[in-house]
Every structure is written in structure tokens, then in C-alpha cells.
Structure 1
Amino acid sequence: MNKKERLEKILRKTKKVVIKVGSAVITKEDEGLNYQVLHNLTYEINRLVKAGYKVVLVSSGAIACGRAKLNYYKKPISLTEKQALAAIGQAALIQAYEDLFQQYQIHVAQILLTAEDLSLRERYLNAKKTLETLLKWNIVPIVNENDTVTTESIKFSDNDILSALVSGTIEADFLIILSDIDALYEEDPRINPKAQKIREVERITPEIFSMAGSKPGRLGRGGMYSKLLAAKMVTSMGIPVVILPGREPLVLEKFWSGEEIGTIFWAEERKLNMRKLWIKYYIKPEGKIYIDEGAEEAILKRGKSLLIGGIISVEGNFPKGACVECINMKGQILAKGLVNFSSEELLKLKISREKINKEVIHRDNLVFLEP
């Protein structure tokens, strides 16, 4: 099966789509929103919605909007200034989408998230139910990071990662990343203009990551490396990803019709249930547990839960139910999991006679990490 046939087969089964658009795509530097690009984007999403697709739009641009509105281009800017600019710009951003979608009789909903909203189980499930209800009502959710209240400790690294997490949350069929760079290249085309495009990627390996370069985007925090991180996360969930040139007119129609455009990352076989994917990707570890060779063999080779007897030491101050990393004697991070005891309780159990029988992390709450 060639690439076009393979894509056609996937698109025939596609019903739910997440579209991520970056600041550099929908804004003009120092001028605010690029309304021509927004007109094109909303027109194409309208066509998808009218064709029966469920669409979630993850849109950057609030801070860039706020800067343009106030003509505020001082660099660098503090976190507090970014939060204030986001508050000003988010209003303009959502109003623009509201007005543009209204001409197609499509309602939109604003959803602002922090990493904490998706890492705490109850809030994650609430966000999931809200998104699913909006899609059921044929409303287009417009998702952005809640920059006005976020801090470094609860910040997504960028909206590429946010779009990946949203894709997993709604169990999307496709993630489309609209970028100012039109595809993945063998090298960064901003450094080497002769770099060749990569049209399809079977698996995101270290060699693929080495092609990304380290420069961030023109206006946003993310660059190609960030997009590859998002793609690796999403493809491991069994969801394909495509990076497309975001400012090109009718880019979604061209992609749907099989035109050779952008870079597609084919989905891998999904090996984890959604709960384990949530533990693996959504939760930030609050501590570390160092384990001996016997515990390593038990959890990796025999699929056992982690018992207190296999723990060498505990690092960090964390409550019961927190996410921790499991580290072997060589210093390698083997797994993440949700603990049944606080760090204080674990330290007490280590010297207790009952320690051998105490289950620290149940195997259903333990996820192995790739080396």
C-alpha cells in the first residue's frame, strides 16, 4: 500500500480531529492577528464541520495579540507581563474566532487549561467530559493555555504539547499541526536553505529528532523539536500526526485530497490503555524512588507491583497518590507510577517489620518508560 492509499484509508475512518495553529501562523509580527490566514482557517474548519467531522482547535496567539494591541515589544518580558498581555490578547483572539465562525453559523467555546488541569485525575475527567459534550453539540472548542494564571511549575512547555494532550484526552483520530515551517526537513531550513523535506515518518527515532534543530519558532515557545515531541507522544497513542504549512490557502483541502504536502507521522500500535497513557504523559513526577535489582526484574520482566522491600531510598516530599519516578541502581529512569504512600510513610515503612508485604505502586498504576 503506497502513501496515498494508506492516508485515504485512515481519513475514511477519521471522525475527530485536533488542529493546532501557532502564533507565527495567525499573527503578523508587530501587527497582531493576520485576518487573511484566520479567514482561510475558519473557512476550512467550517467545511470539515459541515462534512460531519468533530474539530477541536488549539490556538496560540494571545500574548502576541496583547503585544500588538498595546504596541508593547520590550524584550525580555517577565512572567507577570506575559500573563497581563495574555489576558488582554486572549479577549481579542476569541472575539476574532467568534466573529469569523459566526458567518458559517458555527458556535465556538473557549477552554483555557493549565498542566495541572490535566494532571489531576478529577479535573482531567471534567475537561474530557466538557470537550466531548461540546463536540456532541457540534460546537468548536478553542483551546489555549491559561497564560494569565499559569506559573512555570504548571506550564505546558508549549501549545504543541498541549495539542498532543488534547488529542489523547478526546481520543482523536488525527492531529494536524499548522506551522510556519511547511514540513520536517533533514536539517533546519533556516540554517541550510538546501535541506530536503521528509514527507513521511514511520517511527520517531533519535535520528529524526536530530533533524529538528534547536531554534524556537518566530513568536511561540515551540520549534520543530517541540512538534516532534508532540508527534512522538500522539503516535504512541495510535493517532497519526501531520505537520502542514499553516499559511497556505486551502491547505487542509489539499491534504485531504492526497496532495504531496507537509510531513505525516504514521501512528504506532497503541500498547497502553488511556489511564496508563495519562500517567505516562499527563502527570509531572513529584519525587523519585530508587529500587534494587530484584525490584527492577520483578516490575520489568515479571509484571509485578513495586513492593516496599525493593526500595533503596526515597527522594522528595510527596503525598499519597503522587506520581513518582522509579530509578534503578544505574541511575536510569525505568518507570512512572502513582504511590500508595506518602514519602514520610515510605521512610517509616522501610524500617518496619511489615515492609515486605506493603505494595508501594500497583502494577495497574505503573508505566514503563522508553530508555
Structure 2
Amino acid sequence: MNVPRHAEQALPRWRRAVLKVGSSLLAANGGGLSTRYALGLAEFIAASHRAGREIVLVSSGAVAAGRALVRAQPEAAHGLAARQALAALGQTTVVALWQRFFDRPVAQVLLTHDDLRNRRRYLNARATLRELLALGALPVVNENDTVAVDELKLGDNDNLAAIVAALVDADLLLIASDIDGLYSANPRTHADAAPIDDVAAITPAILAMAGGAGSGVGTGGMHTKLEAATKAAAAGVETVLFNGTDADGLRLLAADRLRGTRFRAEGTRLHARKYWLRHAPSAGGRIRVDAGCARALAGGGASLLPGGIVGIDGDFARGDMVEIETLRDETWTRVARGISQYAASEVRRIAGRKSHEIEAALGYSYGETVVHRDDLVCLAPQGTAA
């Protein structure tokens, strides 16, 4: 069947991206993993690195790799516990597959949705991924299938990739599939299927275009990709869907050209992040800062350091939303709010100290900032957005 092609278009501008690669692009016909399509994707990643860009890779394929290791025992391929065991066996093979293409280190990061719902673990995961990027490594993220029962059933790496894109403040979510992009119907079964190049918003009509999985290896389909694009759009991250088996398309991608489908974001990434910070519920705790610290925060671009803190009111845990106040006209006035990297008891012990003294005071450190600038939004004195 002669499937119509998507038109070539400009790729959205980006500096940091999350690239999701599904099992259909990695699994070999005879079992195990293949470099057939992984090589082209790796060349795109390498070209992006040379251009000074950062990529977090969300890679499937662990179950397929594990199955190949025990294919002499077919009974090991059935049942949830067995699939979890296969994922554990195959994880090292997935990392080894990607490491063979790069001189830079490849790091494995296993996550579950629970890790990303829990604020403390969310902060830990984000800090780890950011540090790996700062070190020049390629993080390879996957669901922790050995313990994430629900996620393994859902095969939800598309949605995981969207969550990771928000987690690391990515500019772009790239989803590599075995189909060119979104069509008005399944192009494999409908001769009149038309390519959809640009999606301004994912409406019920767009969702109705999603078909089932195109491969017997992966567990996701077009519907999960649209779900992922919806999540990314809400976080201000654009998504592009492209064919990872198309070598010419990958070369275009490295030249900032797309032959696939572009899903627009709902506003900018910064706007989405700041909106959430402005309206997320507070734990009820307040951090009080001196006038100099308040001016630095109001100027934009500054993080809250322990040296400017003069007091704590209330209680809160690491990862909680807190209000930041300063004394104005003898009244404590809210000037900012954000996510605290430290619990209230810890902030009380490091208040007024230099950042490099945190570890000495606590015996450990979660970083030099109490509230990082990416987790902070400034407010006008009356409490409205500044």
C-alpha cells in the first residue's frame, strides 16, 4: 500500500529534549535487541550532543531482551512475575546496546509513576537526571518493571516520557515510532488515510484517529502517544512524532527538520511551570527572609539560599510548597512561593549559614539552595503574580 507522506516542516527550537524509543524499533525478529534502527537514532543523539544539546532517552526493550536470554525455557515467557523477571534480566542488555554507540557514559535510571507522584522522590529523581546531564552523560530511563505492576500492565513508556519531559524541564518530547506520524485513520488498513502534520490541540476528534498497536512487540499504540502529547502540552512542552525506521527522516531531524506530526503546547513551558507553582496548594509552612534576599528573589533568576533566611513558621517536609515572606511595614508579607528542598527542621538548622556549610550542619546535603529558582515564583506584595 502506498502510504501518503507527511510534509517536511521546521522542528521546534530546543536545547533539551526527551527521546522515547519503543520496543518495535529495538526488538530483533529472532528475539533480543537489534541495532538496525538503534544506530540511526544514536547518530541523531550524537549529532544533537555535538550541537550542544541535551537528551534524556526513555528506552523500552527490556522484556524483549530478557526473553532472548531465556528463550530455551519457553515457560519463562508467561505470567506477570515472569515478565518482571525478564525485564530485570534485560535491563543490562538495553543499557549495553546504547553504550556501544557512545564515548560518553550511559546511565540507567529506573522510575515508576509512584516515584514521580511522591514529591520527595520527584525532587531526588530530577536532581539525579540534571546532574547526569551536567556530567555529560546520556541518561537512559525506563519504568522499573520489576516492581511497577500497574505500569508493566499498561506498557506506559509514552506517558512516562511525557512525565520525564516535565521533570527535567525539556523543551521538546520526541517520540520515535514505526509509523511516520498521526493519520486520519490507520494507514495500514485504510487507503484513504490522510497524514496530519500539525495538531494545535488534542480534541476528541483527534483521539478518535488513534488506532491500536502496530507491532506485536510493544504494548503501546497511537492512543498512548496522544495521551503523552496531551500531558506534555499541559506542561508547555511540544511533542513531535516521527518514524524511527526512516534513515532520511532521522537525518532531517538532526538538521532541525521534521517529517512527522507536531503537537503544539498549551502556552510556554515557563508559563505552565509558573502557573502550577503559583496555584499549587501550600503545606502551610512559611520561610521568612531578610530584605536583601527578598530583593534578590524579586529581581528574578535567584534561588533562595540559606544565608538570607531569618526564620521559619509552621512545619513542612522536603518537597512541600512553602510561602516565602519578608518584613514590610512591620508586617510579614508574602513575596514568593516555591518547593522546598529541605524540611522545616532542616531549614531551621541551616538558616543564616553559607551554602557550603549545609553538609557540615546537617551531615548531608540536598544541594546549595533551599528553594531552587526553577521551583520558585515571585509574587507582588498583594499576593498577585509579579
TM-score normalised according to structure 2 size: 0.65
Structure 1 unaligned spans of 5+ = 281-371
Structure 2 vs 1, CA of residues 61 and 232 (structure 1 numbering), >3 Å: closer, same or farther? same
Who is 2:59 aligned against? 59
Distance in 1 of aligned mates of 2:118 and 2:70: 35
* Deviates further, 186-195 or 254-263: 254-263
Q: In structure 2, the residue corresponding to 1:141 is in which secondary structure? A: strand
CA drift of 1:88 comes to: 1.1
Task: Extract unaligned runs of 5+ from structure 2.
Answer: 1-6, 281-386
CA contact (8 A) 1:27 1:64 kept: yes
Q: Give the alignment of 1:1-371 within 5 angstroms.
A: 7=10, 10-11=12-13, 14-71=14-71, 77-101=78-102, 105-152=103-150, 157-215=155-213, 217-257=215-255, 259=257, 261-270=259-268, 272-273=272-273, 276=276
Looking at structure 1, the residues matched to 151 and 94 of structure 2 have their Cα atoms a distance apart, in angstroms, of 25
How far 1:76 sits from its partner (Å)?
7.7
8 Å contact from structure 1 (residues 84, 148) kept in 2: yes
TM-score, scaled to structure 1: 0.67
What amino acid sits opposite 2:46 in the alignment?
A: N
Deviation, structure 1 residue 246: 0.9
- Counterparts of 2:150 and 2:256, CA distance in 1: 41
Q: What is the identity percentage for the equivalent residue pairs of Structure 1 and Structure 2?
A: 39
Q: Deviations over 1:342-367 (max 9, x none)?
A: xxxxxxxxxxxxxxxxxxxxxxxxxx
Secondary structure of the structure 2 residue equivalent to 1:41: helix
Gap change, CA 1:153 and 1:59, over 3 Å in 2: closer
User: Does structure 2 retain, via aligned residues, the 8 Å contact 1:24–1:220?
Assistant: yes
Contact 2:236 2:267 in 1 (8 A): yes
Secondary structure class of the residue paired with 1:262: strand
Q: Deviations over 1:182-234 (max 9, x none)?
A: 21010112322441111111111000000002446431221000000000110
Structure 1's 42 and 153: CA in aligned 2 closer, same or farther, altered over 3 A? Answer: closer
Secondary structure in 2 aligned to 1:49? Answer: helix
Question: For residues 177 and 237 of structure 1, what CA distance do their matches in structure 2 show?
Answer: 16
Give 1:286's aligned residue. none
Q: Which segment drifts farther, 26-35 or 118-127?
A: 26-35
Distance across 2 between alignment mates of 1:155 and 1:114? 13
Aligned length: 275
How far residue 4 of structure 1 moved from its aligned partner, in angstroms, is: 7.4
Distance in 2 (alpha carbons) for counterparts of 1:93 and 1:86: 10
For the aligned residue pairs, the C-alpha RMSD in angstroms reads: 3.1
Preserved CA contact (<8 Å) 1:42 1:100? yes
